[in-house]
Structure 1
Amino acid sequence: MAVTLGYWELRGKGEPIKLMMEYMGIDYKMKFYHFGGAPDFDSSDWYSKKFQLGIDFPNVPYLIDGDVKLTESYAIMRYLARKHKQLYPETDEEHIKCDQLQGVIYDFRATYTRTFYDRVTHEQSKTKFLEDFPVKMANYESWLAKSKWLAGDRLLYIDFMFGEYLSCLLLVFPGCLDNFPVTKKYLETFEALERIASYKNSERFQKFPILTPRAMFGGEKQPN
């Protein structure tokens, strides 16, 4: 039986989960919710139904797998990895690294999303993000120089969150990884994985939108 992933009609926090399921060969179906454009940004398609699904903490993305109903991106990714015995940490070292990296990547991504949802002082937020970007990326560059993947020599669930984030960064800031060859090579290796490449070349993959229509960039189905 196919699992159901519910999310907005965009990449956002749902895409890393889709990437994982594609890579693991999991039979899944998407339940998309519409997020309207300006000026109303109507999100009632989700909010009118969120309490009808029997989910303890209703939110998107959510996963329904038989009797299992989960929200929170990392919880969903860890659940899928454990159940299918793929992409899950096996050693204490891998667990420790993944626990740390979950927070680090979440915080880094949050600075990016705050920048593009800031409709009042967007240009100042964007300037600040770009000023801080080299310092943050330098940390990843030195970290990734030690191993092939984020937590070591094995591809784990955490790589799907980071790989997706880097992919979106390049759409927003083309060339932003040019001064970080190790990280750039990491992303190229990730996107060259057979099932990832196949998915991204299929009709199931949509490059845009990245964020909701509230965003100053990336909320369009196809940017100008």
Structure 2
Amino acid sequence: MAPVIGYWKLRALVEPIILTLEQAKVSYDIRGYNLGDAPDFDKSDWLNEKNNLGLDYPNLPYYLDGDLKITQTLAILRYLARKHDLGPKDEQETIRSDMVEQGAYEVLLALFRAWYAFSDEQFKLNLTQLVPYLVEKLVHTENVLGANKFILGDRVTYVDFLLYSTLDYIRLFKPSLMDPHENLKSYLDRIEALPEIDKYLKSEGYSRFPITGTMAKWGNVKSHEPY
């Protein structure tokens, strides 16, 4: 029986997990939860199941494979990396992978904090802080990647898929931020050219949006024009 991934019907935190599974050529099922529109943003589809799945930390995304039940995005990714040989192989690689994982996840959460603003005014204020932050973090990321093909060299690992999604969200949000970073754009191209990833991105069920839920000020199907 195929493992089940549970998440909202959007990209956000679940995409790196899906990309890791696609790269590993693992079949899986998605339990996509509906999120209502304004003003209530009804979450009952998830809440009705949340405490009935036997999860130690009931949360989305989750990963169910028989008796194995995992929540928390990074815990799922690390498990899949170990299982499918898509993680670091020695201490130096582990240190490098851990740093990039933490850096990419920090940026990812900063994006969501800015986009999930409670008002248009707050969203505009958030952007005045987000954009300079992203400018700095893209420089850091470019320096870390250097001349490497992937984060750990010539071999793609789970952390590349976490970083890919983060950079792709930035690219879709404000394309000009990527203009000074040719090696990051080439890195995105290399990820997308991986045979299994290319096949997934071209599949009928894949869509660039929504990235965020209906309550976000950017990244959902109603608000996703580039800035």
- Aligned residue for 2:64, secondary structure, equals strand
Shift of residue 223, structure 1, vs aligned partner: 4.3
Residue in structure 2 matched with residue 106 of structure 1 by the alignment? 105
Please say if residues 149 and 186 of structure 1, whose CA atoms lie closer than 8 Å, have aligned partners that are also in contact.
yes
Deviations for 1:185-215, whole angstroms, at most 9, x for unmatched residues?
A: 1111111111111111111212111011111
Aligned counterparts of 1:107 and 1:186: Cα–Cα separation in 2: 20
**Match runs of 1:100-139 below 5 Å:** 100-120=99-119, 121-139=122-140
After the TM superposition, which of the residue ranges 140-149 and 63-72 deviates more from structure 2? 140-149
8 Å Cα contact 1:11/1:211 also seen in 2 = yes
2:114 maps to a residue whose letter is T
The alpha carbon displacement at 1:173 in A equals 1.2
Deviates more, 1:203-212 or 1:169-178: 169-178
Distance 2:158 2:36 in 1: 31
SS in 1 for 2:172: helix
| Inter-partner Cα distance in structure 2 for 1:191 and 1:42 | 34
**Alpha-carbon separation, structure 2, partners of 1:146 and 1:137:** 15
Measure, in 2, the Cα distance between the counterparts of 1:97 and 1:170: 24
CA distance in structure 1 between the aligned counterparts of 2:60 and 2:34, rounded to whole angstroms = 12
1:88 maps to 2:81 = no
1:45 paired to 2:54: no
Q: Cα RMSD over matched residues?
A: 1.5
> 2:69 maps to which residue?
69
Residue identity matched to 1:182: N
Q: Which residue of 2 aligns with 1:219?
A: 220
The answer as to whether partners of 1:34 and 1:45 remain within 8 angstroms in 2 is yes
Q: Give the distance between the partners of 2:37 and 2:152, measured in 1 at CA.
A: 39
State the match for 1:157 in structure 2: 158
Q: What corresponds to 1:200 in structure 2?
A: 201
TM-superposed CA distance for 1:131, in Å, is: 2.0
Matches of 2:32 and 2:144, distance apart in 1: 36
Distance in 2 (alpha carbons) for counterparts of 1:108 and 1:171: 15
Cα pair 2:101 2:163 within 8 Å, conserved: no
How far did 1:80 drift?
A: 1.4
Q: Distance in 1 between the 2:55 and 2:154 partners?
A: 36
Secondary structure at 2:51's aligned position in 1?
A: helix
- Asked whether the 8 Å contact 2:107–2:166 carries over to 1, the reply is no
- What's the TM-score once normalised by structure 1's chain length? 0.94
Partner of 1:49, secondary structure, is helix
Kindly state the Cα deviation for residue 40 of structure 1 after the two structures are TM-superposed. Answer: 0.5
SS in 2 for 1:175: helix
Range moving further from structure 2, 173-182 or 16-25: 173-182
List runs of 5+ in structure 1 lacking aligned partners.
none
Following TM superposition, the consecutive aligned residue runs of length 4 or more in structure 1 with deviations greater than 3 angstroms are: 221-224
Aligned residues: percent identity?
A: 38
Q: 1:153 to 1:197 in 2, by over 3 A?
A: same
